Structure 1
């Protein structure tokens, strides 16, 4: 029989694997528009290493902001729309490692829950938990001409560390975004097993 602590540890490890997969996939997908547009506008084929390179290359502030918004919303599509509409309860990373987001109160996850969990907390509050935070920092800096990177990095790093601490050492392995959205992450196999048990109970009754 599997020990509960062992199960929690494995779930936590899987969440870390899913995090890195999503970081890579989400980062590449969100960054594609900027790389293509930068290459077209400058004629350069060298990899784009920072969104600040747009204005350094002589590209206007307005176009830079437009590209930042495109990249940001592509990232939102990856982290919000995919688990809501394409793979219900799963980002690409969670689908690969066999995890799923579910509601703590057994209700169906709605767009409001995903918005709170994925957008408000994961993207805006925890920040560095997704690669999309880069576009937020550059957008604010480009718009206001105030370099906000070190301040946002500090805030986001602290909140992300706290969130990881809750996930690894908290009683229910809930990150901050899970706690406030009233969600948790389980192994897909557990959900399928529970469905099977529910079907058996239904047949018996």
Structure 2
């Protein structure tokens, strides 16, 4: 707790509002869930032409379709949550892009590939694991593979870590979650004066260094 207090006191205040960040999360939670459910729905309708309901759990499938549906669902979710901010929008999920937010390095540099992958895949999906539906799909795949409710414990631990992460966003002046602290990133509002000034200062420093390098 002492280290958290020290971190709070020394960090720069982030002008990003909690409401804007929550709205971006809500959009990604919804869209990511819809996209991830498509493989399950498509496979289910291919197997059941008279289907009248939308499946939510791969347990309704027989082997090997449960693993096929679950794996494709998880893969599509990874493309949405990891591939989009890594390759398509560079630091932005769809929700963040709509709300003009961006994941950057803590010094305002562009987030690196390593930072994006560790933040989005390792920390958010695998470690925190309870804030997106794709994590639930991973739990279902583990259940199907092991015939043991290991995922129940996994989900509980992930929920606790997710709550800690959310509390850090509320408590820290920088509004950084656990996945931001681990990867040395933060979420910024692109139209904020804070971000504009930081980028301008960074570009000025780069021009100065380039000038010195060229003699």
Decide: shared fold, TM above 0.5: yes
Question: 1:88: how far off?
Answer: 1.0
Distance 1:122 1:63, change over 3 A: same
The one of 53, 56, 72 aligned to 1:46: 53
Aligned length: 193
Q: How does 1:1-205 map to 2 (within 5 A)?
A: 8=14, 11-43=17-49, 44-54=51-61, 59=62, 61-190=63-192, 191-192=195-196, 194-195=198-199
SS in 1 for 2:28: helix
Unmatched runs of 5 consecutive residues or more in structure 2: 1-12
Instruction: Name the stretch that deviates more: 106-115 or 188-197.
Output: 188-197
SS in 2 for 1:171: coil
Give the aligned partner of residue 4 of structure 1.
none
Q: Deviations over 1:129-184 (max 9, x none)?
A: 21111211110000000023432221111111000000011232110110001000
Contact 1:39 1:45 in 2 (8 A): no
Distance 1:183 1:10 in 2: 14
Distance 1:51 1:199 in 2: 50
SS in 2 for 1:48: coil
CA RMSD in angstroms, aligned pairs only: 2.2
Contact 1:18 1:96 in 2 (8 A): yes
Question: 1:13: how far off?
Answer: 1.6
Unmatched runs of 5 consecutive residues or more in structure 1: 1-6
TM-score when normalising by structure 1: 0.85
SS in 2 for 1:132: helix
Distance 2:60 2:70 in 1: 12
Distance 2:25 2:119 in 1: 15
Contact 1:103 1:182 in 2 (8 A): yes
Contact 1:11 1:186 in 2 (8 A): no
